[in-house]
Structure 1
Amino acid sequence: MLNQDEVERQEDELRQEINRLSDEYRSLFYSAVKKKIKDPDTYAALNWFFVTGLHHFYLGKWMSGLVDLAAFVLGVGLMITGHIEVGIALIVVISTIELWALFRAQLIIQAWNNKLYRNELDKFK
């Protein structure tokens, strides 16, 4: 479970480490992470249509995305075949789980980017 204070502490530590890099290494560092960092607004927008798991694909979490997508398709399939209550229940369960990620999008992406920064900083040591 992500903790806001811990993620912010990590971000501050990373920022200090980045600032200690020489200008040349700092430039190389930012060039390396520029295209890899993720935007919390994009993640939240993709999560807005949470039943398909697009936000998981955005982070490269293919298995989680496929599970969400499969659960949604299964729920729709169940409703079409006459198991309306079970299909709706499945979609509601997936939606409830993904709603949590929608409200924590900023923190999730902040932690993701911290991990990316840490991995890239370790290459400069």
Structure 2
Amino acid sequence: MDSSVPLVLLLLMCSSIMVEAQLKVYNLRATGLPTVVVLTTDAFVKLSCGFTSLGKTSVRYNDANPWWEEQFSHFKAKENDTLTLKVYDYDLIFNDLLGVCKRQLKVGTYQHDCFLTKGGTLHYTYTLG
């Protein structure tokens, strides 16, 4: 039997294993969020990776250009998992969804801009490694 066959089988087995890595999402900010009549948006962001909730930011009241200091981590993220960020306008009765950003994860550090359906842009950075 050819001695390279076991090596090929080992390589195939190793390449199919999904490696878990730490995901870090940070530097979240938004620009140009919508204003309704004279009320400025009270924005916050909910984050998830696949089916796992990563949490949510604090609410930034009356700020069309909020910046959030929170950082979010997920220790079992995998390359090609979907990172989802949902931007909301906080209200006492019903939070209005301003837009959803989805990104398929890749290893490395990336900065992204996401245009929200109700107006404005979400900016964020993530690292997967």
TM-score bucket (shorter structure):
under 0.3
**Larger fraction in helix:** 1
TM-score (norm 1): 0.25
Q: Which protein has the bigger strand share?
A: 2
Normalising to structure 2: TM-score of the pair?
0.25
Higher relative contact order (CA 8 A, sep 6+): 1
